[in-house]
């Protein structure tokens, strides 16, 4: 598979997080361990939800229901990444978020792409609940990018 992006994600990004690769993220083969990609994606989603204000303050809790990662090329240290999030689907209690992990200085260098499904649940019952209004609003009407998110 090619490490260069063939096409950007369609539509406006929900959020773009800047993440620095840490020395401790490397494995014995001197590149970022595959499991660490999930940590980078989690951090990007958390930054996105924090940017909404009350998304994490409701009585509902987001949980990861599914993840798909396509590893396109290894990430070496040092590196500065940009993790781009895009809404693919908004359901009643879930959202499908596509992602692209690229080199911050060369967005054509694609390290990983894929998607995750997040479901909001009632922590007391474990049952799905409707998405918080701020999450639904942000997913359907992405905010324009800011200097901090680029």
Calculate the CA 3 to chain-centre distance: 19
Structural domain spans, the chain? 15-141
- pLDDT tens digits, 83-121: 999 999 999 999 999 999 999 999 999 999 999 999 999
Query: Distance of CA 132 to CAs 27, 103, 126, Å?
Result: 38, 32, 16
- pLDDT tens digits, 21-48: 999 999 999 999 999 999 999 999 999 9
Quote the strand ranges of 1-150, DSSP E: 15-20, 61-71, 80-90, 94-103, 106-121
Instruction: Give the ranges where the chain is alpha helix by DSSP (H).
Output: 34-51, 133-140
- pLDDT tens digits, 52-67: 876 666 788 899 999 9
Which residue do the tokens 């479901």 mark?
A: 119
- 15-141 CATH, one of 1.10.287.110, 3.40.50.10490, 3.10.129.10, 3.40.50.700: 3.10.129.10
């Amino acid at each position: 598979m090619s490490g260069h992006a063939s096409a950007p994600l369609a539509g406006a990004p929900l959020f773009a997080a800047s993440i620095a690769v840490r020395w401790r993220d490397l494995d014995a083969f001197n590149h970022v361990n595959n499991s660490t990609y999930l940590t980078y994606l989690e951090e990007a989603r958390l930054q996105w939800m924090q940017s909404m204000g009350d998304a994490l303050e409701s009585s509902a809790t987001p949980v990861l229901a599914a993840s798909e990662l396509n590893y396109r090329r290894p990430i070496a240290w040092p590196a500065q990444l940009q993790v781009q999030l895009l809404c693919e689907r908004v359901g009643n209690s879930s959202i499908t978020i596509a992602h692209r992990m690229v080199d911050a200085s060369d967005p054509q260098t694609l390290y990983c792409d894929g998607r995750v499904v997040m479901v909001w649940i009632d922590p007391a019952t474990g049952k799905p609940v409707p998405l918080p209004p701020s999450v639904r609003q942000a997913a359907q009407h992405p905010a324009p990018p800011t200097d901090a998110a680029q």
